[in-house]
Structure 1
Amino acid sequence: MRESTASRSRRDRDPADEQELALLRAVARGDRSAFESLHTRYHGLLTRFLIRSTSRRDLVEEVVNDTLWAVWRGASRFRGDSKPRSWIFAIACRSLMKALRDRPLEAGSPASGHAVGDAIADIADAGCDVARAEIRDWVRRGLDLLPTEQRMTLELAYFLGQSCEEIATIMNCAVGTVKARMFHARVRLRNTLPALGGEPGAINSPDTE
């Protein structure tokens, strides 16, 4: 007898997933205390994820709040086919993409902040503070040039440790699309980082995948 996806998902959950599933079920019953627990657990995590995924810091708090509100309103619709974390981050991804479409940055307006610097603050533990700051700025500017989907894919993979299958669930796309976005993002970073660092390198137009 073939095991269902939901059955495999339940079998493979770790204790943290089970705890979050219990919280989601309680939220679905209208338990405000359970929602407060999820809010405490995810507010900072979602904020860091979104800050690294877009330079539009003016949208981050709004998207976090929209995501958590959607969790409160929609917890009863979580079927358990994926990890609770994947479901919540999928809501955040959709909310961010909608916010970017609804409120595009006006031409000539500066981005409201650089998104990735804090995430790689320890990229160069050795050496002087000036060198670390230069490396951080260099990598941050390279990531800022990536299309949102590519940048978000790298964030999910390398900062949050999500698998390609989990990223596909979160971003509602095929696993092959996830792998393609990671490939194009790495190629683009290899091309742009030398140029940003003052070395020869091509800065091409952003990939659309």
Structure 2
Amino acid sequence: MDINVLKEVARELMINRKAHIGREKGFIYYHGERVGKLSLKLREHILGDNSSHDDIMVIASLFHDVAKGIEPHGRYGAVLVKDILKEHCTESEIEKISEIIHYHTLRKQDNNYSEYIKIVQDADVLDHFGSIEIWMNFQYSAYEDKPMYKSLEFYKNEFESHAKKCRDSLNYQVSRKIFDDKIKFVHSFIDRFKVETQGDFYIEI
């Protein structure tokens, strides 16, 4: 398979699409790119030098949300990608890519998934937190024409339970470590955001 060609295929399919009405155009494409990069970083920590499935993970990451908006998008994406990739990949490659896409949302403890499925699952979760999570929340708030305090209400009332559920879905300790660092950053940002929305300074002067 030619990674660069397939990146262009993914870009053409998703760069002008919205994952849902409150998300900007192209988010699913850029999200897929980031998940692919995160997957390779995680693989280095989890599997060491075993790079045998790197291309598979990168392409699966690029296309994992290709059916976003048609739920369950993992199942539909796994079918759709077989047609998209039929002229670019071998049957064996397509089956592995399709399998990762199918299971990327089915995060169950004590599963028998391959390491490659679990790595992409974790990369997908991780990309939704930290600075990206803040961007998504503010993007949605702007689309809904909500004032700043509404975002703060989300972080006060909903964010912690949502974050805990996502953390519990992670497969690896290294993923949880990265996740905790991202949450720490969000907390520090929100602490400052609360102060500055009140017209105050964050530092003692």
- TM-score under structure 1 length normalisation: 0.33
